[in-house]
Structure 1
């Protein structure tokens, strides 16, 4: 962590510019919190009109201090805030939190320009800035609560193992409130606002280094600097710290709202998914989802697989748990026969013992059944995680014993356990012993599935070295289009199978090429000025015989001349056989770097896209998993008696495209469509390719 961000999270001295006597004003709230929550460093209120504020002596301006504070809170508006930031830079403040609004989050070009200018002046003098439009930072581990949020008055803080870093002020404290309502302590809750200088990603990297954290939650409206988020993820993985991120702006409407909120740049949503998965970060769907599995993360469990055992005194709970597990991708594997025999010796003859295990209503007359079956199930090797459901219980049930026995069971197995108990009197004995309690089967299973899948994702991310994202987006000059012959040659050199073909400059060459290939051929006009040839009548398929080849060649020449494009020749290619046209695409994103697209191909790919996004480097197994999530997947596997497609060469080709994009940064984009796939390995061929390359002379 840089010393400046250390000063943001754990400052030794803080100045409040615009300090107010009124603790309900923006300039008064941080002073109240610094006193109330035990900040042990020096605090200097700055107010030219008062000698004392909230019992502390003031100074009229920062320059009146004998030394520069490490952190300054700027709680004045407009031009006064800009002047205060300049003064902070002048006297050597390390970090300033600017709470003023009306800058880059607005649509006013002048306000945005003012934001850029003041950041440039600050950075030139070594000052880092949080904001503008920031609610502030709060570290309850040190008492450095430099925030004006009212949430900390409504919900009592407690230091704990969770950190929250957010671009939004509200979303820095809403998860805090939800977690505190469940008894979970929160150490960090920070809001970066406009991210004009210090971004949510850079601050996340600093917070991830805190050894006291067991869970880091992020709220993102954009990913302004993926390289810092990648750094945060690497720091977190190295110490087993899970990161769960809620990235809003999934839709065009949400992206437009983000623009007006924090001035965020909208990142293409599929790229966000791919980037977060690549770096082992779990993406939450909404605020509830962001905190849903918190208790599981904090237990320190390390799941070993996806097999779940459900245990309940209710048949309905067993059925609903089985449904939820199937939908969430968890496996209800049968318990071993020896385990089932031991359970049958304990439970009534009508009880289910295979999995789920239904204790039945017999639990009402014999509460000891719970303590008797749990040790038996604990020894079964077929289970990686457990759901215990007690939907209804009351006076006749020893619910405190249930909580005690389940806690001992969880301790003995060291495996994740979730509890379903909608009644508070039943939930309390489990919750008091630190077990994750949920009100419904679906909620519990989804949290468990997330927890397991997230650890799989973190492990997979740790096994590869991602290609570094650009440190900042940059505009490149317009790239030039390679003609099809150049594009196919480039792919062939990269190890991608391409159709047998020849570039012909004359009609005689075309006739000779067709004769050499044999049988009907494809004849296509070739020009560096044309990306899509069909629209200009430049593609002739099934051409057979000398006269037909000559006619197709001359038609290509005339078509390009009529459209005003240079004629590089005509490609004569074999007619490839196969059963499905797929596509491979790639481009260089200004934020995320190389991006590869895999999926269904053909001429309707833009109208009916069925594709997935990958960020290199990736493996063939990852390409297969991406294809498995597409509508195309059943067709690859084979339907109505058809044999499966021989997809392995396509997987290797996708990996080769990713490697090419990493190793050859001049390639701006490429499009391989169609790539014909058949049922035999040799029936995987790139039939057409479009490559744009930067820095090449026309």
Structure 2
């Protein structure tokens, strides 16, 4: 993000003056609501109604045009009909206003006529350099300055706003404000809320990029229906990683039905969800499922505490609740380990003899008659050296809750370890009081465990990828292979060309020679030595096994000649009389992987890894990373496969050479990045993996060229 763009976004986020174009004197009308809201909540800057027919708007001096306003204007909210918006935005740009918010609908989300209008708007934005939020958006809340250029109903019944460290950006307007309101009710303080709408200009990624640089925003949350600037999102994720600021994201469109709904709702182009999932894991963005998980996770991050490990100690009023918490914690990657005997004896001194000091610690119902017990138990827990996080599980207990809360608050203030409370049942007043004190509080152990698991994942996150290009890559050889195919008017490389392409990037390939006749196939087999495979070599037939185009483990000259003649017949029957043969040395290794590259509309070049062979679609065990990858990231990708245990020692078989496979994945990721304009798809299937030290070898490869832009 350039300095000019960042300055414009910062003035959007912290406007010292706001002009409202089309401001109405009627506070009930949509065009009157921004003025009413900012007056009611006490906006600290200059509020400038623009209305050509009135001298005053809602008691404020009004201006007939922007030219009448003296001094700088940081932000304009354009509350004009869709057909007047473009002229309004141009007026803002000519007046020197760096940023504008467009509330009107009627753009790309409504179909062809709206798409045309949005393209015209984008042309004005490109011509003038003004930065625009929207159109079809509800605007923004900046709680520090009480800047509320919005017509949202989220604050209809509010008299105060809870300010805090969490910034939230949403592509959906109404649903985004639902989440904002729920956050306020849950005690989650907000620094900013912005709705990006159709993203004719500013995207969620760019807005997050501005927010990550603000001092008051310590936690970033996003609701996404599609991703327009995937690489920018990853740049922001890297910056957030440097600043120790988590990004929590809900992205809909996992299913085909969800993706269709997202496109029709905000005109978003939804990239393949698996790529988003892989990219967020790779760059440390915490993807959560749904509004509840988003708010739960935001609560545990809001106080800025970090986990030093995954060890959770639980104190409970109910043994059953403690067991449930242990189960939920385990399923979220946490460890609930019994304390050693020394610490159990210390805990046993302050709890009833019929309680349990092991961990989970069962304080029993005796806590209700001796509220001081929890203070003593928490003091020991905080001293316990093998405790990284603490959970207190209570229920009902409205009577006497004040003393319990005092003890919890005392413990919370006396430690920097994450501490959460689960308070189930009762009137809800204890939960409300804990929220007011800024102590994360939940109604269910599972919700608390999921939030703590996310906190541990972020706190213990690995370094972000720092890919280093292998020195032995020969990009010029690869480009020459592609150029040769394009000169012949082809959009697909045959297997031999594809293998030479990946070999130029240092990927080990099984030795092979092309052959035009059965006799040439026999000669090639003699040169290679050992058992060979004979395959169809065609730039028309993509999947040879589908047409019976492969013969394996051939040794005898006669069977090689017969197989070759048969395959040439198969090619003629499949419609490719010009097909040749590829004679390939049989490779060792009995673990089959697939490694592919593809171009994602949002994130660009991506790498897919999975268990391969002919059953790749049946197994459906794959993971995705964005290119380029370093070797460590490639290894994590492989080890995240559901079947990754097959890489270890299984039934007497030695462990597989995962390091060699990771090297291949990293090299192919550089191919994907370097040749993004030329390679649409590429599959290595299978990549055969042998025992540790024996390496990995590609035995089949297919590359499809992108449409030429030259």
The alignment's TM-score, normalised by the length of structure 2, stands at 0.89
Q: Among 196, 199, 206, which residue is 1:202 paired with?
A: 206
The root-mean-square deviation of aligned C-alpha atoms, in Å, is 2.9
Distance 1:202 1:27 in 2: 27
Q: Which residue of 1 aligns with 2:609?
A: 598
Matched, 1:121 2:124: yes
Q: Which residue of 2 aligns with 1:135?
A: 138
3-state SS of 1:491 partner: helix
Distance 2:595 2:410 in 1: 53
Q: Which residue of 1 aligns with 2:474?
A: none
Distance 1:86 1:66 in 2: 18
Q: Among 492, 496, 501, which residue is 1:485 paired with?
A: 496
**Distance change >3 Å, CA 243–CA 559, structure 1 → 2:** same
Q: Which residue of 1 aligns with 2:694?
A: 682
Deviations 1:156-213 (A, max 9, x none): 3233222111122123322221221133332211112110112222122112211012
Matched, 1:267 2:260: no
**Distance change >3 Å, CA 40–CA 312, structure 1 → 2:** closer
**Distance change >3 Å, CA 643–CA 230, structure 1 → 2:** closer
Q: Which residue of 2 aligns with 1:297?
A: 301
Matched, 1:419 2:431: no
Within a 5 Å distance, the mapping from 1:484-563 to structure 2 comes to 484-563=495-574
Q: How far does residue 421 in structure 1 lie from its aligned partner after superposition?
A: 1.3
3-state SS of 1:583 partner: strand
Q: How far does residue 331 in structure 1 lie from its aligned partner after superposition?
A: 0.9
Distance 1:269 1:653 in 2: 24
Within a 5 Å distance, the mapping from 1:275-674 to structure 2 comes to 275-393=279-397, 395=399, 399-422=401-424, 423=426, 424=428, 426-427=430-431, 430-457=434-461, 459-461=462-464, 464=466, 480-565=491-576, 567=578, 569-637=580-648, 644-665=655-676, 666-674=678-686
Q: Which residue of 2 aligns with 1:474?
A: none
Q: Among 82, 88, 102, which residue is 1:84 paired with?
A: 88
Q: Which residue of 1 aligns with 2:478?
A: none
Distance 2:267 2:284 in 1: 27
Matched, 1:55 2:59: yes
3-state SS of 1:116 partner: helix
8 Å Cα contact 1:37-1:140 kept in structure 2: no
3-state SS of 1:494 partner: coil
Distance 1:85 1:600 in 2: 53
3-state SS of 2:148 partner: strand
3-state SS of 2:703 partner: strand
Distance 2:694 2:709 in 1: 36
**Distance change >3 Å, CA 496–CA 415, structure 1 → 2:** same
Q: How far does residue 663 in structure 1 lie from its aligned partner after superposition?
A: 4.1
3-state SS of 2:454 partner: helix
**Distance change >3 Å, CA 466–CA 372, structure 1 → 2:** farther
Distance 1:305 1:617 in 2: 30
Larger mean CA deviation between 2-11 and 113-122 belongs to 2-11
Deviations 1:534-572 (A, max 9, x none): 234421223332122122223333444454547474221
Distance 2:373 2:66 in 1: 70
Deviations 1:450-475 (A, max 9, x none): 12113334x533x63699xxxxxxxx
8 Å Cα contact 1:86-1:118 kept in structure 2: no
Distance 1:619 1:334 in 2: 38
3-state SS of 2:137 partner: coil
8 Å Cα contact 1:526-1:567 kept in structure 2: no
Q: How far does residue 261 in structure 1 lie from its aligned partner after superposition?
A: 1.5
**Distance change >3 Å, CA 89–CA 326, structure 1 → 2:** same
Equivalent pairs counted in the alignment come to 684
Q: How far does residue 435 in structure 1 lie from its aligned partner after superposition?
A: 1.9
Q: Among 178, 182, 203, which residue is 2:182 paired with?
A: 178
The unaligned stretches of length 5 or more in structure 1 are 468-476
Within a 5 Å distance, the mapping from 1:173-252 to structure 2 comes to 173-252=177-256
Distance 1:194 1:323 in 2: 42
Q: How far does residue 517 in structure 1 lie from its aligned partner after superposition?
A: 4.1
8 Å Cα contact 2:279-2:624 kept in structure 1: no
8 Å Cα contact 1:583-1:602 kept in structure 2: yes
Matched, 1:691 2:703: yes
**Distance change >3 Å, CA 327–CA 66, structure 1 → 2:** closer
Deviations 1:1-35 (A, max 9, x none): 53322332223332222211111111101111232
Q: Which residue of 2 aligns with 1:147?
A: 150
**Distance change >3 Å, CA 365–CA 6, structure 1 → 2:** closer
The unaligned stretches of length 5 or more in structure 2 are 470-485
8 Å Cα contact 1:404-1:430 kept in structure 2: no
8 Å Cα contact 2:306-2:455 kept in structure 1: no
Deviations 1:48-103 (A, max 9, x none): 33332211233333345456743222212132233323333344332222111111
8 Å Cα contact 1:12-1:70 kept in structure 2: yes
8 Å Cα contact 1:202-1:228 kept in structure 2: yes
Q: Which residue of 2 aligns with 1:99?
A: 103
Larger mean CA deviation between 72-81 and 496-505 belongs to 496-505
**Distance change >3 Å, CA 15–CA 374, structure 1 → 2:** closer
